[in-house]
Structure 1
Amino acid sequence: MQLPAEAVAATVLIEAVRISALPTERGVPYPGRAVAHWTGTEAANALTLIETLPGSEQHRCGFSPAWSMQAVPELS
Structure 2
Amino acid sequence: MQLPAEAVAATALIEVVRISALPTRRDAPYPGTTVAHWAGSEDAAALTLIESLPGSGQHRCGFSPGWSVRAYEDSLGHCHVG
Give the TM-score category using the shorter length.
Answer: 0.7 to 0.9
Q: Which amino acid aligns with 2:55?
A: G
- 1:6-25 to structure 2, matched below 5 A, reads 6-25=6-25
- What's the C-alpha RMSD, in Å, of the aligned pairs? 2.0
Amino acid across the alignment from 1:49: L
The TM-score normalised by the length of structure 2 is 0.77
Q: Relative contact order, CA 8 A, sep 6+: which one is greater?
A: 1
User: How far does residue 17 in structure 1 lie from its aligned partner after superposition?
Assistant: 0.2
* Percent identity of equivalent pairs: 72
TM-score by length of 1: 0.83
Q: Tell me, what secondary structure is at the counterpart of 1:46?
A: helix
Structure 1: stretches of 5+ with no match in the other structure: none
Match of 1:73 in 2: 73
Size of the aligned set, in residue pairs, is 72
